[in-house]
């Protein structure tokens, strides 16, 4: 649905986007992450035909964003970071206005407006003006406007910015529901939200793509190994000696002892299943394994390492 090849964009001496390339398949929900000023919004504006690229190509639903921008705009719904709403309009009036701007035939407007009202949960506020809405309902209205022409592709720039935790969950669930039918690119600074919502993640830093894959694949790319915690009942010197003899273990730390259970932190520089190897070693020596788990690597860890170099 979306194919980007080597797009570049300069603002004076600042190169905001540098040879960015990626693709998004039909039906994917893709998270687009990066620090402030990394080039996320610029890339999204190029894809939505708000800005021209200086070089490179981008095709959306098979149409070139430069030479066929009207065809692209017909097929995308865009919710920018600053939700563009007319505060003095009524909720229904604003949807009618957008429907007319989208050239939806008058006979079809009522059905399409009802569909997005139901989809975005706007029933409780239909009698209100936009200026009376909470931030959460304004975001819902922005999504409804982006969806009213039933686009194949939805591009959302920080859709949950400024929302409280309950509103974030509501919008997240709405996006996941939409993602069952649409291709979605979602930009956000709330990393757990991206991990919970998206099938795949793109990370951009200083105008360049520095990571691409599922959260699990990115974790392997960033860390390149694993950390295991184990509680083993038995003689400490012999257990430590056996663990150190395991060729897959690069570091062993004793982190505590409780009622005869020795607690270890093990580091391996390879991704072979160290848990299974450790389990069999303990069983073969007649010791008791009290706990065994792998340290979870979060998307935040990956983001920090790929954009700042911090582990």
Do 163 and 62 reside in the same domain of the chain? yes
Interatomic CA distance for residues 149 and 115, integer angstroms: 10
Do 113 and 168 reside in the same domain of the chain? yes
Asked which of 50-54, 75-79, 177-181, 208-212 is least confident by mean pLDDT, the reply is 177-181
Is 177 domain-assigned?
A: yes
Do 261 and 193 reside in the same domain of the chain? no
- CATH classification of the domain holding 127: 3.40.50.300
Select from 190, 221, 252 the last residue of a domain: 221
Contact 151, 76 (CB under 8 A): yes
Do 61 and 173 reside in the same domain of the chain? yes
Select from 194, 221, 248 the last residue of a domain: 221
Domain count, the chain: 2
Region of 256 please: left (phi>0), alpha (psi -120 to 50) or beta.
left
Do 89 and 28 reside in the same domain of the chain? yes
Select from 221, 244, 279 the last residue of a domain: 221
* Segment 225-280, tens digit of pLDDT: 678 899 999 999 999 999 999 888 888 999 998 888 999 999 887 666 788 889 99
Is 308 domain-assigned?
A: no
What is the pTM (predicted TM-score) of this model?
0.76
- Going by C-beta distance under 8 Å and a sequence separation of 6 or more, which residues neighbour residue 91? 122, 125, 126, 127, 128, 129, 130, 133, 141
Domain that holds residue 244: 222-301
């Amino acid at each position: 649905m979306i194919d980007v090849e080597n797009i570049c964009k300069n603002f004076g001496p600042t190169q905001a986007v540098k040879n960015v390339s990626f693709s998004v398949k039909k039906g994917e929900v893709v998270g687009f992450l990066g620090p402030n000023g990394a080039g996320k919004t610029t890339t999204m504006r190029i894809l939505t035909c708000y800005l021209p690229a200086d070089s490179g190509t981008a095709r959306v639903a098979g149409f070139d964003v430069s030479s066929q921008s009207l065809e692209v705009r017909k097929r995308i719904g865009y919710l920018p970071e600053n939700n563009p709403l007319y505060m003095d309009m009524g909720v229904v009036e604003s949807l009618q206005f957008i429907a007319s701007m989208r050239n939806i035939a008058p006979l079809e407007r009522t059905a399409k407006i009802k569909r997005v009202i139901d989809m975005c949960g706007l029933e409780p506020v239909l009698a209100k003006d936009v200026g009376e809405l909470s931030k959460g309902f304004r975001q819902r209205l922005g999504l409804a406007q982006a969806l009213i022409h039933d686009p194949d592709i939805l591009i959302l720039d920080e859709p949950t910015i400024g929302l409280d935790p309950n509103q974030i969950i509501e919008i997240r669930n709405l996006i996941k529901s939409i993602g069952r039918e649409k291709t979605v690119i979602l930009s956000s600074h709330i990393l757990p939200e991206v991990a919970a919502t998206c099938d795949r993640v793109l990370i951009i830093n200083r105008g360049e793509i520095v990571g691409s894959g599922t959260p699990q694949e990115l974790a392997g790319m960033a860390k390149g190994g694993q950390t295991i915690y184990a509680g083993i009942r038995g003689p400490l010197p012999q257990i430590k000696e056996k663990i150190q003899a395991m060729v897959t273990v690069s570091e062993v730390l004793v982190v505590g002892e409780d009622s005869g259970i020795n607690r270890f932190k093990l580091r391996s520089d390879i991704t072979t299943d160290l848990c299974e190897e450790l389990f069999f070693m303990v069983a073969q020596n007649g010791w008791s394994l009290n706990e065994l788990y792998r340290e979870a690597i979060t998307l935040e860890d990956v983001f920090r390492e790929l954009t700042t170099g911090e582990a």
